[in-house]
Structure 1
Amino acid sequence: MTAAPIPHPQSSAHNNTVSQTPPVAVLKDLVARLHREQNRIQNLLSSLGFALRSFNNLNQFLEIVPLMAARVTDADGGALVLLKPNGQPRLEQLHCQEGQSCQNMRRSLERITREIALSYPTSPSSTSFKANFLDEQLQNDLGEEVHLFGTPILVKNEDRGRLYVFSYDPNYSWTSTRKKLVQLVADQTSVAIANNELANELRKKERLDRELEIASEIQDHLFPKKCPIITGVKLAARCQTANRVGGDYYDFIPANYEQFSSSPQQFPSSVPWSIVIGDVMGKGVPAGLIMTMTRGMLRAEVLNRHPPAKILNHLNRVMYDDLEKSHRFLTLFYSEYDPQTRILSYTNAAHNPPLLWQASTQSICKLDTWGMLIGLEIDSQYEDDKIQLEIGDTVIYYTDGFTDAVNQEGDRFDEERLVATVEQVCKQGDRPQTILDFLFDRLKQFIGEGNRYEDDMTLVVMQVTEDS
């Protein structure tokens, strides 16, 4: 920073006055002027800091940046050049002190930035080269009579533009103090840009969180609000998603339209009911969308009253194109229980086979048939099978998130542990809800307190009871 020059003598009388002024008084006057200048600069920088804290609109802040840079350095004007998202420079703001013309500066910046846009690639690696080229071309274009200084706008160590300050005064010089003041204004500009980008990211995250919240609410509404009342059957079900939106699917689908009534079911239903469980490969919103699509298509298909294998065959053909485009697949176990005969008919599309606890033999077997994933091949075929259930028999439907759960030592809960746990709780003769709670509690103990679930987990427990 250079001090204002002391006025030159204009006459002999004035010269005599100056010569008669004590040196101490001259020094005091010089110190006072320096102090006033220092206060002026501090006030300007304080105003810039206030604007940084107060302005919600980045453009409002950028408008005053060249003005502040010029005033704190007593220069004639300033220019702010920022890089566009594609890496090309753009003249953002230009300011000149009153009475000065900036037309040559504007023309030079606009012409040089156009040349850069036409001549150089937009890759981020070329940013520093463009900045150097801009500095050199601008100085050459303006000539030596313009005192120009430029400093980078750095955001996270990335060059995002340049702040230029210039003066037409032939006695003007770029002292180290003036350069530091320009760099200080540039740093404030970098903070404003970084804050704006952070605010945009937060707003984007808030929108995404809200969308996920809505998707989660929709999915929660699509899951059965409660288990149906079926003659001679007790049911319990729970789906625990790893994220807000999951890809696990379970449903209870009646065999006729009357059961879809919105009024609560008061009495046990003796019509056949389909009990379905599935798992979309992946998690989150994409898996949740496919789960929702599967639910709608399967419900419509069930009402056609086809055998289980044919239902999955139709479902696979209808969903194949969409699943192939999304690069996702679906495992599904479909079963239909007839309360009149206690026969469970079923087919499997590569899902984890449900476990059947047979009360008469105190043993566990798997319910499985051969079948490919839904969406893997358009002409996949599926097999039908059935089993006669007896009073006390319990079927445990589950998804692989349950058996793939890992503890702190890296061990999986696996199917063997699940079978042993099911056997333990079923021997006690507990009801489905107690069985379901016991299995989830055991899994929680296995994983450990505070550890999050890595995959969606779903259990459906069906138990055959007395008709009453």
Structure 2
Amino acid sequence: MTNTDPEARKYRSLLNTSTILNANLDLYQLLPLIMLYSKDLLEAEASSLFLLEEKDGFLYCEVALGEKGEIIQKYARLEPGQGIAGWVAKEKKPIVLDDAYTDPRFNPALDQKTGFRTRSLACVPLFIQDKVIGTLEILNKSQNRSFDSSDIEVLSSLSEIAAIAIKNAQTHESLKKRVLELRLLYEFEKLTVAEKSIHELGNWLLDKVLEFLEAKAGTIYIADPTLEVLRILAARGIPEDAIHNIQVPYGEGISGWVAEEKQSLLIQSLDEDPRYDKNAKYKFEANSLISAPLLYRDELLGVISVNNKYSGFAFTNADLEMLGAIANRLSVTIKNANLFHKVMDSDRELKRAREVMHKILPSSLPYIPGLDFGLQHLPYDNVGGDFYNVIKLDENRSAILIADVSGHGLSASVVATVIHTVVETFEHDTLCSPSKFFTALNFALYNKLAGNFLTAFYGVIHTGTNTLCYSNAGHNPPILYRKGEGTSSHLETKGKLVGVIPDLFFEEYVTAFQPQDRLVMYTDGLTEHSNADRTRRYSEDLLTLAVRTYSQSSANESASSLIKECRTYCHRSDFEDDVTLMIVDRI
């Protein structure tokens, strides 16, 4: 047997280790495996692994492997350059020390915390291409030996395998959480439409969030802006009889801080955070925590906090981002669900309905360079099912929407509120494509509108390319008037009603939308208006002629003149349905 046999065995072990590590996509199982293999392969008493968090730039080590193979939870945090691991991450160089305590870079605080005594050590950076993602460290070679250059070589090889496995696991974890987030949001929307109470929604939501984040405890607080306190809507991990007794003033404790600052928060170890009240009468088991504010247009609706992972690991920034995304998007749903239930629980008072519609309709259309808007919105009996919106997507693109829920009055306005809730949850990519917009909307609303249906026109104006991309869901085709040519056309596309037929695909078209072009969108309350004995009706042809007549006026003036002409032609001022007219000028 030659002297190279031990080295050969090490590299054969590396090959086996590579297969095992890359087959494991669970990050919480992978990290202890990496430390176990590094400890055993290099005959060390202990090992630790730090990961670099890109968002805040710190190195985190929440677990280490002790001399008896036990997992030691550290929750250590280092700045790049701090301690041995910090120096290796910053300099991107391996290091080996015969006596750690003689090196000024060594930080004995971790030894003091864990009770472990470090003698010698070797530490290498974890690379993905040229980018450092963390460090891998082994401590105290067995039998009082020292680590040498061959150990560094083997540890570096192991670190290459480990880095790839960690990156794969992190990617898998990210995708998994994204799927879970979307599933949660979809299921929550279904419950909202099913008219569940806010308490039912809160309890369901908290259970699902804890399930998805694999955590033991959490709380959803509702804000009381008058008294500036948080009250518990749903909680897991504290006695049920205590829920109604707890009020958290803004600024006090973890949740109070999140409420006052309106910022998300990640804490690796609650015991080490000064905001955590260790003497509180009711408190969770001290461990890691994430918390996010529930905000609707900067209005604080509440706070959601989750703590204590079943795995014992600390929460990560990826967990916090998932909770923040859920909080941001579900705040809209909670706000509208609140308004929705206020209407349903107050004998359908018109005053409540008007407040709801006032909340969901823009009080004024946004200023967008290159575009000018004119608007007339006349709901039947003070509330209705017509609604509209203008959404600035980016520097060059803006979305326009006009929609009409079947029927009118309070019932239509309630359905319009639900639809608005669904639209608020759409991703940017969906909002940028009229076809995707209607496909997603139909999927979300199919068989949930209690006999109602929706017609709508949705377009995306690109002021950089002077184009309009649009799709129509059974709505009156808008009129496109080209002032430079003096021509009018109707933007007709094939499109079914929303909410009636499942799995629909909506066609998408693109047309030029040049300076001096005018787009006129309207609901059928305008073109179905008639005189008292129904012998005189204001038709689409009359509207098209009127658009040409008032083409020299501004968009706002033209919108007002078109409504006035309709009333004059029919000799009747009161409309029998909701009427919405929106004009968009390319200037």
TM-score by length of 1: 0.50
Higher share of residues assigned helix: 1
Task: Tell which structure's C-alpha radius of gyration is larger.
Answer: 1
